[in-house]
Amino acid sequence: MGKFLEKWETRPSTSVGTKVKEALRPPPPLKPRLEAAIRSLQSQINKLDMAHAKLMDRDRQLFAKIVEAYTRHDMDHANVYANELAEIRKMAKMLMQSRLALEQIVVRLSTVKDLGDIVVTLAPALGVVRDVKQGITTVLPEAERELGEIGSLLSGILVDAGQMGGLTINFGAASEDAQKILAEAAAVAEQRMKEKLPELPASLPSIEGRSEL
C-alpha cells in the first residue's frame, strides 16, 4: 500500500542527484498527472461551451431572417438562410456531443482510486478524446493540438499504470466502452437540440432534410 501511495501521490524529486540519474528515475506519480489531465479536459469543455453559445446566437439570427423572408414571401432568401441554418445546427450538435462525451470522461477520471481503476477508465477515455478531436477540428481547429496533448498525457499515464500494476489492457473492451460513451452523448445532444431549437415554417423543407443532424 505504501509503495502504491508513493507512485500515486508523491511528487517527483527535483534534487541534483535525481537529475543526474534522470535516465533511471521512475515515472512521475500518477495522481498529479491525472489531475492535470482533468483540468485540461475541463478547459476544453469550457471552450466548447463558448463556441456552442456563439453558434446558438447565429442560429437565432438566421431563424429571425428566415421568418422575416417567409412573411415577405421571399422564398429564395428563406431557402438560402435555411441552408446556412442547417449547417450551423449540424456544427452545434457536434460541439454539444463532444462536450457531453468529454464531461463523461471527466466524471470517470475524477472517481479513479487505484491502478486498476486507471487502466479500466483511461483506455476508453483515450478513444473518446481521439474521436472528439477528429470530429471537431473543422469547427475548432485549435482543439486538434490541445486534445492531442491531452491524449498524449492520458496515454502516458495509462502505460505507466499498466507497468506499475502489471496489468493487461483490454483494448477491445475499451473501444466498445468508448463507442457507448459517444453514442450516449450523440443521443442526448440530439434530444437537447430538438428541445431547444424552434422548427422552420411548415412550408419550408425541414432542417433535417437539408443536412444530416
Over the stretch 64-86, which tens digit does the pLDDT of each residue have?
999 899 889 898 999 999 999 99
46 within domain boundaries: yes
What cell numbers appear for 44 in the block?
476544453
21 within domain boundaries: no
Residue 127 CB neighbours (<10 A): 21
What cell numbers appear for 94 in the block?
457536434
- Give the domain CATH number at 61: 1.20.1260
57-62 CB contacts, 8 Å cutoff, 24+ apart: 58/88, 59/85, 59/88, 59/89, 59/92, 59/197, 62/88
Rounded to the nearest 5 degrees, what angle is found at the Cα of 180, between the Cα atoms of 188 and 160?
Answer: 125
158 touches 126 (CB < 8 A): yes
Distance of alpha carbon 204 from alpha carbon 193, whole angstroms: 19
19 within domain boundaries: no
183 within domain boundaries: yes
Distance of alpha carbon 204 from alpha carbon 207, whole angstroms: 9
26 within domain boundaries: no
Whether the model clears a pTM of 0.85, i.e. scores above it, the answer is: no
Domain of residue 67 covers: 31-200
Specify the number of domains making up the chain. 1
Please report which helix (H) or strand (E) contains residue 180, including its range.
helix 171-196
**pLDDT tens digits, one per residue of 27-73:** 678 788 889 999 999 999 999 999 999 999 999 999 999 989 988 98
Is the Cα torsion angle 94, 100, 106, 111 positive or negative in sign? negative
**pLDDT tens digits, one per residue of 151-199:** 999 988 888 877 776 656 666 777 888 999 999 999 999 999 888 888 7
Q: Which amino acid is at 164?
A: M
Q: What are the angstrom distances between the C-alpha of 194 and each of 54, 67, 168?
A: 18, 18, 42
182 within domain boundaries: yes
**pLDDT tens digits, one per residue of 88-134:** 999 999 999 999 999 999 999 988 776 667 778 888 899 999 999 98
196 within domain boundaries: yes
126 touches 106 (CB < 8 A): no
7 within domain boundaries: no
In the block, which residue shows the cell 535525481? 18
